[in-house]
Structure formats: structure tokens, C-alpha cells
Structure 1
Amino acid sequence: MEDLLKLEHQVCFPVYAFSREITSLYRPLLDEMDLTYPQYLVMLVLWEEKEQTVNQLGEKLHLDSGTLTPLLKRLVLKGLVGRIRSKIDERVVLISLTELGVGMRAKAQCIPGKIMETMGLSIDELLVLKGIINKVLAK
């Protein structure tokens, strides 16, 4: 029986390396927009959903509040999002885009295509990969 502790037998390592590679592909594109990758993910959700609670963002992005809160504060300082307390429940903080944040969407339109082109994978290959990843994350 082969040694299961060999790096070449680990699923975690290529997943980790792939994650780092993907993030590095985004970095130059996001640097032009003065966004980090996690900030970009928040913007993606808000471009789609318009307004979210901090908890909703955390659930969608698999981020805890300790990571999300400082990230959101930086987006507020950049003028991209606003934070307001819910009138129904003051413990709930609502996050929404500012006009500047809404306008940034047009700049981001090209990012998915550029990433796909750089990766050199077909749409079908990417959909298979995404499906497998989503299956694992759903467990």
C-alpha cells in the first residue's frame, strides 16, 4: 500500500495551490480597481442583491464577522458601500452600494472573461470544476 501521507496523494494540496493561483490571476485586475479579492466578492454579492445584512454577506461568502467587519469598514472608507442599522432591529446592520459602488460594476464587467481566457479552460471544463467544488462545499 502506498504512503497516504505523500504530498502527491493529497487532495488538499492541489486545491490550496489552485486557490492561490486563481487569486493571483485576479490580483492585477483588482489592483486597477483598488479592491482586494475578498472586497471584490462583497461587491459581486451587492451588485446582484443590492442590499444585504452583514450576516447574509457572511453566509454567502463563507466569511466570519471577524473577517467581514474590517473588510466592510475599508469598503466604507473607499466610498463604495454604506452601512446603516435596520429600523426594525438595531442589532442588524444593512450594507448597500453607494453610487460610486454601483458605477464600479461597469469596470468589473471584463474580469470574468479575462480570467477565463487566462486560465485556458473551456466553459464546459469550468462548469464541471465549479460543480465539483460546489458539491464539496455543500457538505
Structure 2
Amino acid sequence: MLLDDQLCFALYAAQRAVTAAYRPLLDDLGLTYPQYLVLLVLWERGETSVKELAAALRLDYGTVSPLLKRLEGAGLVRRERAVGDERSVLVACTGRGEVLRERAARVPGALLTTTGLGAQEVAHLREQLWNLTERATTAADRH
């Protein structure tokens, strides 16, 4: 059983390499990769509850909360209790966060250029990865 033959290791190595390729692009925006993902959800959905945000990112509340605190400290998002439900916290981009959206729109194209991947390759790879995610989640849920 060789390390390089393990699917889990190939995924781990790819994830680390892709995150590293994103780093200089996101450094220009003053964001970490997880912060970028949070903002992507907010730009797509608008005001969202922390619970929905965590579900979209497939993270737990304890992981999302510090990310939001840092983004709020940077003036990019605001958090407030929902009017109808004090237990629910809503998150939205500030004006400053919305301005960053325009600059961040260049990131996916820049990553394609950096990696040399074509749009079709990316679409196929993304489809395979989501298929794997679904299968692995189903398998994990059975146990």
C-alpha cells in the first residue's frame, strides 16, 4: 500500500496545492481562503443566517464563527440577531465587502491562467469531485 496510490492523499495534496495557488490572488484582496469562501456565499445569497452559511460551506458553527469575527473586524461583514428569532444570527456584506466583490471576480480566471487548466477540464473535474463528495457522504452516513 503506497502513499501515492491512496485517493485520500491525492485529494489532500491537490487541496493544499490549489489553496497555495489561490494564496497570492487572495493576499491582494487581504483575504484568507476560508474568508473568501464565506464571502462567496454571501455574495451569492445575500443576507444569510450563520446556520445556513455553515451548511453551505460544510463547516460547523465553531469553525465559521471565528471567520465571521475576523471578517467583521475587517469591516467586510456585519452580524446581527434576527428580529423574529433572537437565537438566529444573520450575516451580510457591508458596503466595503460588496466593493471587494468586484476585485474578487477576477480570482477564478486568474487561477485558471496560473494553473493552465481549461474551462472544460475544470468543469469535468468539479463534476467528478462533487460526485465523490456525494458518495463519500452517503458512505459516512451509513456508519
TM-score range, shorter chain: over 0.9
> CA deviation digits over 1:8-63, x for unaligned, max 9?
32111111000001100110111111110000001111111111110111111111
Q: Secondary structure at the match of 1:88?
A: coil
Unpaired runs of at least 5, structure 1: none
- Counterparts of residues 25-36 of structure 1 (less than 5 Å): 25-36=21-32
Q: How many matched pairs?
A: 135
> CA deviation digits over 1:38-97, x for unaligned, max 9?
000011111111111101111111111111000100000000000010111100000001
Q: Which residue of 1 aligns with 2:130?
A: 134
Identical amino acids, percent of aligned pairs: 46
The TM-score with structure 2 as length reference comes to 0.91
Q: Return the alpha-carbon distance in structure 2 between the equivalents of residues 44 and 9 of structure 1.
A: 33
Q: 1:99 and 2:98 equivalent?
A: no
Which AA in structure 2 matches 1:24? A
Which AA in structure 1 matches 2:122? L
Unpaired runs of at least 5, structure 2: 136-143
Q: Which residue of 2 aligns with 1:62?
A: 58
The correspondence for 1:17, drawn from 13, 17, 30, is 13
Q: Return the alpha-carbon distance in structure 2 between the equivalents of residues 104 and 6 of structure 1.
A: 44
Q: Return the alpha-carbon distance in structure 1 between the equivalents of residues 113 and 57 of structure 2.
A: 24
Q: Return the alpha-carbon distance in structure 2 between the equivalents of residues 85 and 79 of structure 1.
A: 18
Which AA in structure 1 matches 2:3? L
Q: Return the alpha-carbon distance in structure 1 between the equivalents of residues 130 and 30 of structure 2.
A: 28
Which AA in structure 2 matches 1:19? Q
Q: Secondary structure at the match of 1:138?
A: helix
The correspondence for 2:49, drawn from 53, 60, 65, is 53
Structure with the largest fraction of helix? 2
Following TM superposition, by how much is the alpha carbon of 1:109 offset from its aligned partner in structure 2, in angstroms? 1.4
Q: Return the alpha-carbon distance in structure 2 between the equivalents of residues 118 and 136 of structure 1.
A: 25
Q: Secondary structure at the match of 1:63?
A: coil
Q: Return the alpha-carbon distance in structure 2 between the equivalents of residues 58 and 115 of structure 1.
A: 25
